Amino acid sequence: MRLLLLSNSRTPTGEYLTAALEPARALIRDRRRALFVPFAGVTIEWDAYTDKVRQALSPLSLTIEGIHTQPDALNAVHKAELIIVGGGNTFHLLKCCRERGLLGAIAERVRSGAADYMGWSAGANLACPTICTTNDMPIVDPGGFDALGLVPFQINAHYTNALPAGHQGETRNERLAELLKARPAMRVIGLPEGDWLDVEDERVRLAGLHAAPWFEAGAEPVILQPGEELRPHRAA
């Protein structure tokens, strides 16, 4: 099982998926048939979203088809060599996948090693046991929070603990502390923009530009450095 889970799609200068090209190249090796899941897109049409991703990843020489264009989505999953799940609204993504019966099919295909998985932001959240650590508004009811469960921990994408001057809301760390008080069995990695996780079976490695905090209930966050392996020894 091989996964590439990215915090975000854009660089600070606005370039789209350019930072993902080399880790994606390492992920896919000789795989060429990719299935793109655009369901996190809400204000962008899914055809346009697929074209955008196809153009951004064109240096990888992939054949990318949008799952929404397939007459039999489940069959398309069963044939995919690479499943790409884009960012956007995680609740909308999960709802659309659940309604189409895709969660089990995607999880089985990836766990078996028949397909690799690449996701950013909402697509990274979907790979977790639940979507409870998304930053998105619940604009739709996804019919439950359970997701693919490809990794045994939660990801908080776009992680930052910074607050704008004068802002009186909770910090991200305070929000995650609330989560772990309510669900103490969970573990969470705060994945800053510019970071990603390389997953191969049980091995999970942090990569990118920044250190990332690892949160567990009742403990201070552990700061992980790029290149360091996570050791998620307990199921979430």
Write the pLDDT tens digit of every residue in 2-23. 999 999 999 989 999 999 999 9
Q: Is the pTM of this model over 0.85?
A: yes
Architecture of the domain spanning 2-230: 3-Layer(aba) Sandwich (3.40)
Q: Is 185 exposed, middle or buried (0-12, 13-18, 19+ CB in 10 A)?
A: exposed
Is 121 noted as a catalytic residue in this protein?
Answer: yes
Q: Which residues, 6+ apart, have CB-to-CB distance to 70 below 8 Å?
A: 35, 76
Catalytic-role residue among 7, 92, 136, 198: 136
Q: For the chain, what is the total number of helices (H) and then of strands (E)? A: 7, 12
DSSP designation for 144: S
pLDDT at 233: 52
The proportion of the chain whose per-residue pLDDT surpasses 70, expressed as a percent, equals 98
**N residues, the chain:** 236
Cα–Cα distance measured from residue 53 to residue 20, given in angstroms and rounded to the nearest whole number: 11
pLDDT at 234: 47
Catalytic-role residue among 158, 195, 201, 233: 158
Report pLDDT digits (tens) over 148-189.
Answer: 999 999 999 999 999 888 888 889 999 999 999 999 999 999
What does the block give as tokens for 191? 């994945």
Catalytic-role residue among 7, 92, 116, 121: 121
